[in-house]
Structure 1
């Protein structure tokens, strides 16, 4: 009997239908000329009542010099597609500037450990006013 209860508890705790990241996109990036801080944005759809941690990176290569920035945010899910935005700070090289770059985002469900990652995405980084 104890084994059946333990097995039932494990199935409940690790059931992917219990909390899930359904979709994740990265759609745009922009940079502030004055501060050098970059912002990435996209959408996430996840199970109502769950929370997802979104981590994003933005990498640029200009004249054989690499720049990378990253950041994260927490989104409380409502079951519908929601917008997310992450403010990135540089961690390698110079600040990311306007022009061509690649970005990637990863979402991690808080209810059960599950990662969803976007493909590496080409982005045209725009200047913020």
Structure 2
């Protein structure tokens, strides 16, 4: 698994946890509202304030978890963007190197053809009409 796939997997997992925590928090907030209402009605009861405090603590804990997951999500997103930029840069460098290599191969092929033509008078005459005249005059044909 590549680093990008790993980051994407972490990103998806963190996102799932974030959604899960958001949905888990709603019943607690609703319960907190209900408990506060009951507490206001039955303010003489000593148990209700403790339940309210416990619910508030739970809500705060969930909110803290959500913030941490959002931070992880943000970090994962930034790392993914950085890796994508690095991949694009690497692709650009590879493309330039391939183009340079192709150009070098073409030049080398042209040089080889020229060298072969210089060694074979018939090919040289076909490539350059002036060379044919020079070769013919050297051979006493013209």
TM-score exceeds 0.5: no
Which has the larger helix fraction?
A: 2
Tell me which interval the TM-score lies in, with the shorter structure as reference length.
under 0.3
Which has the larger strand fraction?
A: 1
TM-score when normalising by structure 2? 0.25
Considering Cα pairs closer than 8 Å and 6+ residues apart, tell me whether 1 or 2 has the greater RCO. 1
The structure with the largest alpha-carbon Rg is: 2
